Structure 1
Amino acid sequence: MEKIDHLIHAKWIITCEEAQALLENHALAIRDDKILAILPSKDAERKYQATSVHHYSSHAVMPGLINSHTHLAMNAFRGLADDLDLMDWLNHYIWPSESKWVSQELVYDASLLAMGEMIRGGITCFNDMYFFMGATAEAADLSGLRAHIGMTIIDVPTAWAKTPEEYFAKALEFYHQYKDKKRITPTLAPHSTYTVSTEHLIKAKEIADTHRLKINIHLQEAPAEIQQSLEKYHKRPLERLQEIGMASPDLIAIHMTQVNDNDFDILQKTKPSIVHCPESNMKLVCGGCPVEKLTRLGINVALGTDGAASNNDLDMFSEMRTAALLGKTVANDPKAVSAEKVIKMATLNGAKALGIDHLTGSLAPGKAADLIAIDLEQIETLPLYHPISQIVYASSRYQVAHVWVAGKQLLKNRELLTLNEKELLNKAQYWGKKIKNSV
């Protein structure tokens, strides 16, 4: 018998490969940090001798969810300012609070809290954009999650940097520190076209091209952003990015709720990835991303939660359900944004956006053992006819029982294995009291 590290048996395995596969009574053979094989459980028992054997007899095993847009440290401001439009929320509540409280200590503590929430919600990889990136990277290293960490560029002084030159210098410093880390990948993150000048957008693109980095940017999120760009530049934000060559497959355009026919033409020609954040967009009344039309045009659409200050959680199960329902409404078609499509938006499409679909995002031999087990034999999800539909339309993150990243278990029977839950709760209460007493 062939020796391996882990053998995971499951009632269902959902591969999320391009040709979607739903396998019953199969097993995953894992050696080192990768999937060695997927085969029927009976065959696996005859072929492999595993150091550890796991039987997920009432579970669906699928790729770990990829949260393609986050601001993790904003967990510290969850519920601080609700029921406002985007610009009011930013200008009068969030940016003043960040100016007062954001620090290395807060970002580390709040990021750990967010990572605990994400692990328990089946998220194995995230794409972040915030300040004090080293604190987020340090937290990710401890948690065991796969992390893409955006090096923020913004023409606004903050506790992190006072000038654009300082933002760029600190970004490059972070890049050189983390470029060779196994689970941590730097990306470049100019905040938006309304907070970063054309000159600095061009510089960001030059740095990204030099170091072969993905670029994250909030783009065409709300009507006010379009209006500001037209008044100041006589062009829509996407047109400005196309002119400087930033619109490309290396661009991760976040939100894209405001899309006209010319935008569709540009997107179809340049093929950036879009990250849809439906619950944040709905809460801030930003509009709805036209997911169905984008995907029909061959544009990759991934899924993200945005930050917990505008959502107010990091719940990708809720995000999948909302994306499916909103997608049908926007397209006026009940067949639009199906369960199968939205589950790929939360897995394989996220990996494609980040440029790591060769590594993760689906379950296949040779890919990283990034996976979750969802207990579907619960009152809330029985009877069960179609596991994929049940996951999207009926299940919750509280049914995630087990989480693995790179062959290491991070959650076992809902218990965090790499993070101390009591410490996370204490830190959350500490920051909550401190911030509340100053408001």
Structure 2
Amino acid sequence: MSDLKGPDSAFFTPSDVIVLDELYRDINDHEASKGRNQPQIALDRLSGLADPKHPDFQPTVFCAWDAEEPKKKSSRTLRESILQLYINWARTVVRHETDVVFLTHIILYFLTTVPSALYLFYDFHMLHGIAHLLLTIWYSGAFTLMMHNHIHNNGVLSKPYAIFDWTFPYILEPLMGHTWDSYYYHHVKAHHVEANGPDDLSSTIRYQRDSVVAFLQYELRFLLMCWIDLPLYFMSKRKYDLAAKVFCSEISSYTGMILLARWNFKPTLFVLILPFVVLRLGLMIGNWGQHALVDEVEPDSDFRSSITLIDVPSNRFCFNDGYHTSHHLNPRRHWRDHPRAFLQAKERYADEGALVFQNIDYLEITFRCLTKNYMHLAKQLVPIGKQIGMSQVELAEMLKTKMRRFSEEEIAAKFAKFEVEEIKKRAEEKRVQ
């Protein structure tokens, strides 16, 4: 078995600590854990962390550190008192009381990115432009995953703030590298419908996923052709309204960038164009890592076509994005509920042969795949089920089999059930209409 170490809570989210404790308990006492009841104590602890009515509950206020239990008023410092006033107010603004961090980020972006962008158009300096671009890249991960929650749940703020909740993405998206609404159409209306299947525009199954050449083809197609591929996809599904909407959103975004570049090129380059290019490249690097390891037997299984990451920046800074399988199983599941959902279903994950990693994020997984470093991937794997007891070499060989490109004949055979379900779904939609 690979050289595994137990949880080190220095950087973990509290939920990751609980989850990994349970997984390592299974690994270190495999025989005793067979048939063991669900870890109810751990599940209760995870429930308490996400339940506003539970005494252990604390909202997420910042990504970089966790809020402490509020002190009595008499013992608070001025800073702590101001912070608590903000938390109390913010909990009434956000849709879920856990999500104070979303409001924190929205305020942060409007106080930094927006004025910085405006000033660059007023008085451009190269150093300011570079600093602005670097800050945007730093922000883009958390912003994108905040929008990920926004598009799956139709907003992140409470009803009294619905107008602002609808409006702020149109201001911030272009500044963070997004085109208007395209993330919603591509991710919610296409990717989650197709689930990395044959018709998914971001599907990895037709590519050899440890090949640099294949990866570059994948990246370039998305970067250069998404503006037309996505409308054509919706047209092929007879969703003409979505095709028109996404085409208009893409073209209007590009038109805006072109017009601004003709008026004032340098600030447009650093404020809009470069963030757009960097984000689109980053999205596909991340998606490759999320769906590089696809099961050769059941590639249409959510358990076997996506992965789970624990103890990674994606969980600390990007709202539990590491629990990608859990997200595919239930795209509308709240981000704070992923650890509990994973732990509650860990026996199913084990039976399905799901892959769980620790201390390696999607970008590094993509890098390790492209450099064919299966041994490092195996080292970071947290074995579950039948994987427990396998040597690092055996795990590496197992992972290698999941990188292979699927032929069109294999796709037709292995996704036949998926296609039948899609045909039934379309027939039902047509009947309802």
- Superposition TM-score, scaled by structure 2 size: 0.28
- When Rg is computed on C-alpha atoms for both structures, the one with the higher figure is 2
* Structure with the bigger percentage of strand: 1
* Structure with the bigger percentage of helix: 2
- Superposition TM-score, scaled by structure 1 size: 0.28
